[in-house]
Structure 1
């Protein structure tokens, strides 16, 4: 199971095509500190014509140029590497690379000029090439996953810098205007979900696991880097799979629906009106499908997509789900609720970032607190008291209402009360909207993230709201 899955992901990572070609017109190649080299080692001084090539990334993190016949015609390498291998002259300074370089063990970081170089005429005649140009020692590789010779990574793959976005001139702009970025290489949903599972298991929540490389995943990756100093390349699926296998197993597993799962109890729907909510005995899940999606930290639509045609209400049915692993543990002594980033970050006594969660934090009409408050108490499976004189007013509801508890209640499955009255950190009935909508002033997390955080905090923990 592990071998076949690793091969599938490795093959996907072997050559990930960028949907757009390199540049709008042939012209000098300028991507800070990098040069293009042909497969026999010659320097490619000009960009290939628009539409004639595409960019792929191999398992070593190299950018390769592939023509329409799927043949590798060149590589992108650091300028310092070309100079070192070829023994040739320094690259022209007006191409945007510094002659002063710092060799850093192979990462290829360059010293950039203080100001951007003047724009070059991309319609100018290219510099002539000769057979006397120095050649870099670049070995051509077959990219076919079945016959290719690109080596597999070792047991401890190296974490590489995530590749920068390709750029091309804006056809409707003028010389010197900023270039527009291409889309980053697109990963399949299974690869993205594997990354999401890895982050989720380690306390750097991507929110719902949905196989999409959205803003919540990007925030989780940034938090991971802050905590560990590592920048994970999302395309390095060998690394992600090897770490998953070593800590909790593969990203996906099978689950058999039980009679207890199918029995509920469930409610027909979740009313929007608070007066109608208050009439219910419990704000339970609406279906087995919704319950299982939340149990496995998944977007409900993604769960359904992984199990087409499945009747989730039938006991004994096997389904494919995410393997979430154990909850993060530890002692959190300080929390930062970052309004701009839409993320809650938790730190230990040593100041180490130990967990991060996407969050919905207030709105312009009902802003969250400012400054510093503290945690006062923690309530699991909480009810909710609606009081229009203290909080907000919903429609014609002008009296106090006691809304019953449940995962689909206004504050979800956990309430972490703050020292500022009526404010707290809590769960949500709509996990897929976390970090993408507004709240009534509180800090809203997915239910599973709120439950995980509740297990690491205690009364007295400070919570700082930052803009």
Structure 2
């Protein structure tokens, strides 16, 4: 995917079905409204579901330990099918482990601990979550077919130059392998491990390949809609922890923990207020807007206002381009603007870099995670960046 430039930029809503590259507008994402009524994209035909494969049919390469890894200490991490099974289970339970690749790392551990917290199990305990994963995910792999709708979302000639991108109708995937990797919450490297380099690089519509058996991210269902406030979801609270690179969504603003006997043993209790957690990448320290903010808007398929001066200095210029929407846009396929100017939670063109490289000031998430946020939180909710 394209190199992540970082983001402290302006977003405008898509108000037509990608008819033309829209003009640059002097707008603030905190309070903008569409220029016109949205023209929804016609729904695409439903793609065939992936066919689960029997356990043991897929052989995974041995994962070599990385002495430089920053993975927290936790029991004996699973390997092989069980590693993929655990990641799929956590992903489907809305405790995102990051890229599903059979290599559990820091984000998998954070997801395990979030799941344990909700279910009242000790931190860093793997026994309960692995038992649940083996029951819920008997078949961790599936055989998937590249749907015909992929032709609308793949452009093998998409330029890397911003001036050329501004003339495109959308920021498409650059290959069918990239389309399928994001669809199944993984990366191209893992698809190559499961299949072969020749098969993944030569992939075309109607072709098949082995994928993680996860509920797919259906980009064809996005139509440029904006999300309205919903009372229950607008009353929720999201904590964005820039120290551990995780966003947590709670039913309401968390209350302080009061310990009756500080000298006594700590009793683990289920935290039912935690409803979901996802990996994030925060902005650079000098650009992060710490504090408590309000979510002001949420829109699918945003247009990105590319202003190099704004990215470099924080000062807006008149020399800007509107980069069209799509999965290879630096803001991904969803934008959720906050009440602080120019800052929002959004998708990314580089899911494999989540937690590793920083943007200018916004909060990035993998597209498959970002598109699930409106199921848990809506405009009006409080967002704490800490």
Q: Indicate the TM-score class for this superposition, using the shorter chain for normalisation.
A: 0.5 to 0.7
Distance, in Å, in 2 between the alignment partners of 1:8 and 1:313 is 19
Distance, in Å, in 1 between the alignment partners of 2:307 and 2:380 is 26
**C-alpha spacing 1:244/1:6, structure 2 compared with 1 (3 Å):** farther
Which secondary structure does the structure 2 equivalent of 1:211 belong to?
Answer: coil
1:252 and 2:141 correspond: yes
Distance, in Å, in 1 between the alignment partners of 2:52 and 2:169 is 46
Are the counterparts in 1 of residues 154 and 176 from structure 2 also a CA contact under 8 Å? no
Alignment match of 2:206 (pick from 316, 325, 341): 316
**C-alpha spacing 1:4/1:240, structure 2 compared with 1 (3 Å):** farther
Alignment match of 1:303 (pick from 170, 179, 191): 191
Higher RCO structure (Cα 8 Å, ≥6 apart): 2
Q: Which residue of 2 aligns with 1:448?
A: 368
Q: 1:21-55 deviations in whole A, cap 9, x for unaligned?
A: xxxxxxxxxxxxxxxxxxxxxxxxxxxxxxxxxxx
Are the counterparts in 1 of residues 154 and 179 from structure 2 also a CA contact under 8 Å? no
Root mean square deviation of aligned Cα = 3.5
Shift of 1:463: 0.4
Shift of 1:4: 6.6
**C-alpha spacing 1:317/1:391, structure 2 compared with 1 (3 Å):** closer
Q: 1:271-305 deviations in whole A, cap 9, x for unaligned?
A: 1x533432333210001110111111112210121
Q: Which residue of 2 aligns with 1:340?
A: 243
Q: Which residue of 2 aligns with 1:214?
A: 105
Q: 1:142-192 deviations in whole A, cap 9, x for unaligned?
A: xxxxxxxxxxxxxxxxxxxxxx77xxxxxxxxxxxxxxxxxx646434221
Shift of 1:403: 1.0
Are the counterparts in 1 of residues 184 and 215 from structure 2 also a CA contact under 8 Å? no
Q: 1:351-377 deviations in whole A, cap 9, x for unaligned?
A: 511110110011134x21111001001
**Unpaired segments ≥5 residues, structure 2:** 1-50, 60-64, 67-72, 218-231, 255-272
Alignment match of 2:155 (pick from 266, 275, 297): 266
Shift of 1:398: 7.2
**Unpaired segments ≥5 residues, structure 1:** 10-17, 20-163, 166-183
Alignment match of 2:85 (pick from 169, 173, 194): 194
Shift of 1:380: 0.3
Shift of 1:208: 1.1
Are the counterparts in 2 of residues 262 and 313 from structure 1 also a CA contact under 8 Å? no
Q: Which residue of 2 aligns with 1:294?
A: 182
Distance, in Å, in 1 between the alignment partners of 2:90 and 2:233 is 19
**C-alpha spacing 1:318/1:326, structure 2 compared with 1 (3 Å):** closer
Q: Which residue of 1 aligns with 2:282?
A: 361
**C-alpha spacing 1:382/1:5, structure 2 compared with 1 (3 Å):** same
Structure 2 length-normalised TM: 0.66
Distance, in Å, in 2 between the alignment partners of 1:443 and 1:268 is 29
Shift of 1:252: 1.8
Structure 1 length-normalised TM: 0.55
Are the counterparts in 1 of residues 172 and 328 from structure 2 also a CA contact under 8 Å? yes
Shift of 1:325: 3.1
**C-alpha spacing 1:442/1:3, structure 2 compared with 1 (3 Å):** closer
Are the counterparts in 1 of residues 151 and 205 from structure 2 also a CA contact under 8 Å? yes
Q: 1:64-91 deviations in whole A, cap 9, x for unaligned?
A: xxxxxxxxxxxxxxxxxxxxxxxxxxxx
1:423 and 2:343 correspond: yes
Are the counterparts in 2 of residues 241 and 250 from structure 1 also a CA contact under 8 Å? no
Shift of 1:426: 0.1
Q: Which residue of 2 aligns with 1:242?
A: 134
Residue correspondence of structure 1 range 10-159 to structure 2 within 5 A: none
1:285 and 2:173 correspond: yes
Distance, in Å, in 2 between the alignment partners of 1:274 and 1:398 is 16
Shift of 1:411: 0.3
1:331 and 2:220 correspond: no
Distance, in Å, in 1 between the alignment partners of 2:325 and 2:128 is 43
**C-alpha spacing 1:324/1:198, structure 2 compared with 1 (3 Å):** same
Distance, in Å, in 2 between the alignment partners of 1:191 and 1:430 is 26
